[in-house]
Structure 1
């Protein structure tokens, strides 16, 4: 497999035992930050569309809450990746968490003042927290070996489970806190989001030492490989040259577009059919559990069975979820099952795809390529989310699921191409 420009072993300038120790510490720190930051994000996903619905009075506009978060994740993907490429993972991740916290403050102010455009701007900033959450998985891969890259990456993804599942179920308690402060009940989870992002920033800034990306790129400099930071264009070219890298990016983007498109409108669909807010919160919690809880298993399988087979299984699960959710009608249990499957399919696509992308590129060129991957991933999600409200209003929840399922088709086409060229 093509490893990109200047690929060398990641065990050249430090002994394997020391590198393994540093990698274990790095993964633990990243996991802790994911737990804290994920608490707020899970809560925000459950109420964002409802706040937007309250401010705008429109089902179509309610979908813009999650869309703005996804768009924000896309907007900040490259700047944060660029910061990582120039200065290391620690500054990049810390900056992202802080920008997300700023977004929380803006959302609170916009909701209090009833200014919908300002609310949308705040949600874009909240998207920086999502971008940081996603880029943490790349930090876990910087010092990993090929035998453990899927596992290390996946346990950092898994750590989001704790916060993301707990968060939506704190809607009630945090709503009470918001009322005590004279705020709308729906702002309780936003307070939690802001505090969680600030906590994630503090953990990364203090504890992520030594910086994993700076260590990985130092190996290349020592071995005579150019030390200047490659640009995003270099990363895009590297992706285009390698069928496996291209498949990885398309698989990640497709999985995210399917997930965001369906998940965005599920709270609105359930609310229209009389589901209680607590039931909506539970459904989103279980969906997020599907996204993250089994990711270590997905990572282990991708290390053992291969990245491409596991990613394709993930795409297949997304298709099954579309059938289950799309035929659920008013059945809350069936909708919940479909949302859990949606999360599982997303996990397979993201974990296996991210590991495949990382091992296809050198350490120096990874940040730009990974930033581009996250950019198009979130643009795809933002596009699907923006259209989801319109599709729901025109074709119903079943039509929305069918629409989302179509995004999986290019992945299977590119997988056939990768295998035909010997990259599978």
Structure 2
């Protein structure tokens, strides 16, 4: 595999720390851009579908389509990264997200719901790639610093993630000037941001972190003559860790998708600006605490932070269920707790998975884990449940579901 980038990889094997710092800088730049693209679409995707369909029963359909596109891209990015490295895999994923954004705009102009759904499916590629990039940050990190490396990549999404929803109003004006429906305006920003993120990675993510990590591992194994024993040990120890890491991320993502819906605020008379503010707070708390979370995971261990994720998500679900629909402050607090619980789960689950998977199969396994996370998220079901029982029941159900993390962590510890 290292033959795809022989010069850049071997030249920097002697100084992996310097290479890691450069890689993190490039990843941070791309994550700032992709964060804006991700947040812009999430804010208005459900509202655009609701406006086209004229019903809230299928309000969760955009999330379901994001999920499907996320799943397919996670597989593709994982396999491309396994075969050719992180750089081509991540760049291709962001490019697909940009194409999906253009498709959403076209569908809105033509008022074509079928094209909208296809475009939202492709748009989901950007979300998957944004999360897959966190693995690239850990490829060359020292074992005791992997969670902090992951958190550095995640927190970079905050700037774009907070700015994206709050640019909804300006992009509405731009869309109106261009003759595009207002709700499709944020996808202009989304498409441009994803395209720029793809270019940043394609030109500057050199040397490739995964290929460099493999070259380092091969050199160390040859010197110590323990390659076979190391691979065997990691594979045996990794099975339970992969299952637990996937479960932590699955439950965190499932609860987050279930509770976070702008349609609930829209139904209570809150406009796009108010919805954008609450979602911006939520996305900010999803990523902003990442450096602290990474330090906590490295300092106190994966399992304690995974358990903290379940407790925080439960508090979020209870507060969201009890908060009056007209209270922006309480809804913002509930979604802030939701973002924090998700952050705990994602960083802890990612660190568990990365620490327990052999380097030779790391990229493919990480892609498979992210597929499981995507498939388990119930965007479609959440819209149907809101229509049938109301948002409070959905929020409370999501909070209770998060408690499953506690027995899972306890079982793994035993």
Query: Given the two structures, how large is their TM-score scaled by the length of structure 2?
Result: 0.92
Asked if 1:311 is matched to 2:315, the reply is no
> Superposition pairs for residues 8-407 of structure 1, below 5 Å?
18-222=15-219, 223=221, 238=235, 242-263=239-260, 265=261, 267-330=262-325, 331-381=327-377, 384-407=378-401
Gaps of 5+ in 1: 1-12
Of stretches 217-226 and 150-159 in structure 1, the one that deviates more from structure 2 is 217-226
Give the SS at the match of 1:148.
helix
1:138 Cα shift? 0.3
1:357 Cα shift? 0.8
Q: Go from structure 1 to structure 2 and tell me whether the alpha carbon gap of 1:108 and 1:89 turns closer, same or farther (over 3 Å shift).
A: same
Of stretches 197-206 and 408-417 in structure 1, the one that deviates more from structure 2 is 408-417
State the distance in 1 between where 2:319 and 2:13 align.
47
1:75 Cα shift? 1.4
1:406 Cα shift? 3.9
Q: Go from structure 1 to structure 2 and tell me whether the alpha carbon gap of 1:53 and 1:239 turns closer, same or farther (over 3 Å shift).
A: farther
State the distance in 1 between where 2:266 and 2:103 align.
26
State the distance in 1 between where 2:13 and 2:336 align.
39
- Asked if the contact 2:354/2:362 (under 8 Å) is kept, the reply is yes
1:67 Cα shift? 2.0
State the distance in 2 between where 1:239 and 1:325 align.
41
Give the SS at the match of 2:359.
coil
State the distance in 1 between where 2:235 and 2:400 align.
27
State the distance in 1 between where 2:238 and 2:268 align.
49
1:397 Cα shift? 1.2
1:324-351 deviation per Cα after TM superposition (whole angstroms, max 9, x unaligned): 1110122221111000000000000001
State the distance in 2 between where 1:44 and 1:323 align.
27
State the distance in 2 between where 1:337 and 1:271 align.
17
- Asked if the contact 1:176/1:185 (under 8 Å) is kept, the reply is yes
Of stretches 326-335 and 168-177 in structure 1, the one that deviates more from structure 2 is 326-335
Match of 2:6 in 1: none
1:10-65 deviation per Cα after TM superposition (whole angstroms, max 9, x unaligned): xxx89997111100110110010000111121111111011001111110212211
Asked if 1:418 is matched to 2:412, the reply is yes
1:275-307 deviation per Cα after TM superposition (whole angstroms, max 9, x unaligned): 122111100000001101111110111111111
Give the SS at the match of 1:183.
coil
Gaps of 5+ in 2: 1-9
The number of equivalent residue pairs is: 397
- Asked if the contact 1:161/1:293 (under 8 Å) is kept, the reply is yes
Query: Given the two structures, how large is their TM-score scaled by the length of structure 1?
Result: 0.90
Match of 1:5 in 2: none
1:64-102 deviation per Cα after TM superposition (whole angstroms, max 9, x unaligned): 112211221111111110000000000000100001111
Give the SS at the match of 2:270.
coil
- Asked if the contact 2:293/2:347 (under 8 Å) is kept, the reply is yes
Q: Go from structure 1 to structure 2 and tell me whether the alpha carbon gap of 1:258 and 1:143 turns closer, same or farther (over 3 Å shift).
A: same
State the distance in 2 between where 1:67 and 1:91 align.
26
